[in-house]
Amino acid sequence: MKDESPQLCFSHFCIPMICGGQSTQTCFRKAGGTSRTPSQHHLPPAQADEVTRRLIWEKNLKYINTHNLEHSLGLHTFELAMNHLGDMTSEEVVRTMTGLKVPRGHQRHNETLFVPDWSERAPAAMDWRKKGYVTPVKNQGQCGSCWAFSSVGALEGQLKRKTGKLLSLSPQNLVDCVANNDGCGGGYMTNAFEYVRQNRGIDSEDSYPY
């Protein structure tokens, strides 16, 4: 008989770690999932979808626990945690939330810049969060507006660099107003930057909430 893979064994072993000793069913409900079990057959479509979501969530939970166990053994440099996307597959997340649309005819450049051997060269790594250049994480919801969130993230950092003030900017302003993009249907950051340039600014998140 073929042995289970180490990942599967680790996953079963680690489930109580992330659930704090609770059953996976209790933990699943607290994370926003349903309480149904996959033991029922011929369910109505709505109930069948709940079962499917539960199975996907449990699979993702096992993956998280396995990864975090490997992190504790020094195999990874970061930890994972469950969030509101936990009952979706990676393919569903990509299909639902990624809306990058490169404009037709857009020219990609691969130019290089010669940098002399200055005494103060760029560091090997920089955590801009610790420098105070990054606003709290935003949630784009079920909308392919990743281009808008990416754009405001870049603009927020540049605004902080220029003025010394960290201000959360409005992705919704871009979703609604960038004519050359398609809102939740996708878009491109360059179009967003061009809109901000022509508009001579962008609204704050407080004045134009998502």
Which residue has tokens 């969060």? Answer: 129
Per-residue exposure over 149-162, b if at least 16 CB sit within 10 Å of its own CB, e if not? bbbbbebbbebbee
Alpha-carbon gap, residue 145 to 135, rounded angstroms = 18
User: What pLDDT does 37 receive?
Assistant: 46
Sign of CA dihedral 204, 145, 210, 183: positive
Q: Give me the tens of pLDDT residue by residue for the chain, a chain 210 residues long.
A: 444 444 433 333 344 445 555 555 556 655 555 444 444 456 677 788 899 999 999 999 999 999 999 999 999 999 999 998 999 999 998 888 787 787 776 666 666 666 666 666 778 888 999 999 999 999 998 899 999 999 999 999 999 999 999 999 999 999 999 999 999 999 999 999 999 999 999 999 999 999
Stated pTM of the model: 0.65
Please give the backbone phi and psi of residue 204, each rounded to the nearest 5 degrees, phi first: -80, 160
pLDDT at 114: 66
Q: Residue ranges of the domains in the chain?
A: 6-88, 95-103+131-210
Q: How many other C-beta atoms lie within 10 A of the C-beta of residue 19?
A: 19
**Is 135 exposed, middle or buried, given 0-12, 13-18 or 19+ CB atoms closer than 10 A?**
middle
- Domain topology for 95-103+131-210: Cathepsin B; Chain A (3.90.70)
DSSP assignment letter at 40: -
Joined together, the tokens standing for residue 205 give: 């998140």
The C-alpha atoms of residue 56 and residue 40 are separated, in whole angstroms, by 16
What the block records as the tokens of 174 is 């871009």
CA 147 to chain centre: 12
pLDDT at 73: 97
Output the DSSP codes for 55-119: HHHHHHHHHHHHHHHHHHTTS-SS-----TTTTS-HHHHHHHH--B-PPTTPPP----------S
Q: At residue 35, what are phi and psi to the nearest 5 degrees?
A: -105, 10
Q: Residue 118's pLDDT is what?
A: 65
* DSSP class of 138: P
Distance CA 185, CA 190 (A): 16
Q: 153 and 146 in contact (C-beta within 8 Å)?
A: no
